[in-house]
Amino acid sequence: MKKAILLITTLLALVSCSERTPQDLFDEDKSGVVLILNEYYYTMKLPNGNTLYFTGIDDDGSLENLSVDYNDIKGKRQTLSGTGFFIDKQGTIMTNRHVAQPAIDKKAVKESYNSLVASLKAYFGAQMEELADQYRTLENQKSDCVSFDFYGNAYQDEEKLQAITTQQGELEEQFNQLRDVRESMNDHVSLDELQIAVVCEVGIAYNNTYVTSSSDLLDKNPCVVTKVSGKEDTDLALIQLKNKTTPEGAYVFNTDGKADVGLVAKVKDLFSSHNDEILQIDQQLYMIGYNAGPVLANTKQGIQVQMTSGKVTQLPDGDRLLYSIPTVQGSSGSPVIDSQGRLVAVNFAKLAASDNFNFGIPLNKVKAFLKP
């Protein structure tokens, strides 16, 4: 009994002096956090079977870079960056859904398309009317092909008449083409009739590596999207390295809310009153991510991940965790950990016009998302 008490006393003594510093946490976790690059465009399959390509919707509500040419849209893809972190040894990376598979407002696309169709039909109608006017003008010119001599005999200029007839044939062909295209356009396409999808090319880069172009991510470390949350309030997704192998030495985050950091930390968990699923107001939290993407990450020593810190400002309600960790574009998908290194949330949004109130997806939703 005395030996058991002595052992417990010794372990408790070790626990009391085992507080991990932010530097300790950063040094351990940084190798498991990756920069994500996504180059993407959208496809829209029309009711007539044709496919249009575009990259988004501009401020005026118009479809950006609208094209019927696949090769054309490949050179105009949108680009976004975010953060992700390894959760297993098979190259699986957790991030936000809006990083891995950018959504678009399908209703806005439908309205933009219908507006475009109406504009095109009006344009084609005006073009057809102009062609008809040219045809009628040529028809009137045919009378000029006939002349009369002194005795009233009629002579027809066959060469001039043939030129007019040829021009009329060309105008008629253009008219018919515009008419056919115009008639093939539905006056109003419903949302159900439009099949809209996003096409993504995703890649990653590691801390302390050099990134000079998108190929350093997309070609060297290509990924595929393997799972996307179907719940609107769960902005989570998984991507996976195509080689399905997490690099040797890369830190793997534990998604069960425990820190895999050795005996002392495990003993501390045993004797702590802290519940892995319960956070406290003003509790210290840390986020490791690529704020502002490559812009801020690029240094003379290669890309460098950043650690930022803050406090719990509102207890999680099951859907979100509010904290004062500053974030910017590129922080999406970053792991949020506590002072023991335990994953407590995945960063996903900030309160508009504020750097001091930001949101994370709490651990309970992460666990639910990862269930088969």
Residues 6+ apart with CB under 8 A from 148: 154, 155
Q: How confident is the model at residue 163 (pLDDT cuts 50, 70, 90)?
A: confident
pLDDT tens profile 298-347? 999 999 999 999 999 988 788 889 999 988 888 999 999 999 999 999 99
Hey, what amino acid is at 107?
K
Asked which of 71-80, 155-164, 197-206, 239-248 is least confident by mean pLDDT, the reply is: 155-164
* CA atoms in the 13 A half-sphere facing the CB of 249: 5
Between CA 288 and CA 249 the distance in angstroms is: 17
pLDDT tens profile 224-247? 999 999 998 899 999 999 999 999
Domain 20-105+195-370 has CATH 2.40.10.120: yes
The distance of Cα 136 from the centroid of its chain, to the nearest Å, equals 53
Q: How confident is the model at residue 257 (pLDDT cuts 50, 70, 90)?
A: low
Domain ranges of the chain: 20-105+195-370, 108-184
pLDDT tens profile 78-101? 999 999 999 999 999 999 999 999
Helix (H, G, I), strand (E, B) or coil at 30: helix
Between CA 86 and CA 34 the distance in angstroms is: 8
The predicted structure's pLDDT at residue 302: 94
